[in-house]
Amino acid sequence: MNIIIQLVLRINNGAIEKNDRIRRINSKIPGPKGLPFFGNILAVRGNRHLKYQQYYKEYGPVFRVKYGTIERVVLTGYPILKEAFIDHAELFQPRFLRENNIIVKLYSQQKFKGLIFSNGDYHKNLKSVILSELTATKIKKMEVHINEESKRLCELLEKRANEGKEFVMNKYFNLFSINIILRFLFGINYPYDDLNESSVEVIEVIQRFFKLLSEPVLSDYLAFPHPFPERPREFYRCFRKLAKNILKLIGNYKSKRSSTGSDEHGAIIDKLLIELEKGNITNMGLVSICVDVLIAGADTVGQTLMFSFIAMANDQSIQEKLYQTLNAAIPPNEDYSYSKYKLTIPYLSLVVKETFRKYPVGVLGLPHMTTEDVVIGGHTIAKGTQIIQNLYASHRSEEFWNQPDEFIPERFLEKDVGTLHHFAVGPRNCLGYSLAECEVTSAIATLIRNFNFINPNPTQPLNDEGDFSIALIAPQTKLLVKKRHNLVL
């Protein structure tokens, strides 16, 4: 055993020596002391965003933590994030890809290369393909499908309301957002009534996959194989399940297209199939890209909606004011239209903004890497350092927001209000932010016009403390839903 330990230490020390320049340059950046060998990785397990919020309060907007041999610098607050990711965008743009990371091992293989964990020309090409389907004109066309999904969700909620019983809302918001992305990708959706085994499995696998992506694995940061191989095996199992579903959907889409001879829904899969035919991506690369789009677009919107309705159930005055505002602005026989009403119903915009502020989509974003030595906030950060955008703490900071832990939509009417950056900062921010904003706004407007969402136990506020993941996970929440007098389904 001693020989094994000495061997592991020798290998790990070799990795440390390789990172000695980074460590030396970053040594003047403040941060918590870590344990030998492990650094701070054991101290930040669990709800990492809360630990980083604590570190921000202790060490300031630029602080350093160590994950084994990896130097990580965390940036908090829009001024610092802007200085790094906008003023020095080219130096902070790449994703940090660790060679022995289980995710990178998969995605770095040419045949599996996806969108999220790629850099360089490959990423630029894929980004342009995806963005071509996210123009204002394309999103306006998607409004029809978003409104259809909102109505389908309303029909289910009407049945639940008629039952007069409280029920867990989370899975329905998850399915709503998954259906929008499936429509975007393949032109299909899942049924809501009595959620079938297939749709429930997809929801659960996406959430577990997201959770695995966010959890630190010791072998990712230390120079030896993972001592507990179950975690990597579970990651690959989740990927295989998602890939199996995606391959089936691609096959179904190809069959339907060949039989009809046309692109009925204008799904993005057609653009990706063209890239496949050009040889720009592989078959499994196509699957990886679809997995990336699905997990990035599905869980984030569903969680955001759940948090928003928790907040409004906890404060009925906000919900009632929004209902009255929507009623006054939209004729009773007319559906909400994002493109028509997004600028003409200010209070709806305030509620959506406050939702994004208090419950940011990506609490810590995805890791970036510096390509050169650079000075940010008066601190020199070494080339090759892993960089984290501390979005959660930025949106909960008293330096930028009054009463940051409270849900106050009217705060955005103030002149000196902070800057929202819930979709991250810089050229690699969330590609689908415009679609996500349309989804969230449309769903809130349609649901509030038709129903009142009530805390079953009003003496005890609903829990809105999320569980850490790449996207903050809302607690499983039971709500009582009551129909409005004038349903506009």
Residues belonging to the binding site are 430
Q: What are phi and psi of 451, to 5 degrees?
A: -140, 155
* Alpha carbon distance 300, 210 (integer Å): 10
Amino acid at 22: I
* Alpha carbon distance 179, 190 (integer Å): 6
* Alpha carbon distance 392, 111 (integer Å): 35
* Alpha carbon distance 478, 203 (integer Å): 18
Residue in this structure with the two tokens 């109505």, named with its chain if needed: 151
Q: List binding-site positions for heme.
A: 430
Element (H, E) at 438: helix 433-450
**Could you tell me if 273 and 324 are in contact, meaning their C-beta atoms sit under 8 angstroms apart?**
no
* Alpha carbon distance 109, 309 (integer Å): 41
Residues forming a β-bridge with 387: 73, 368
* Alpha carbon distance 183, 297 (integer Å): 12
Sheet architecture: strand order including 167-168: 167-168, 478-483, 451-454
Closest CA to 411 of 342, 368, 350: 350
Q: How far is CA 274 from the centre of its chain?
A: 27
> 264-276 burial, b for 16+ CB within 10 Å, e for fewer?
ebebbbeebbebb
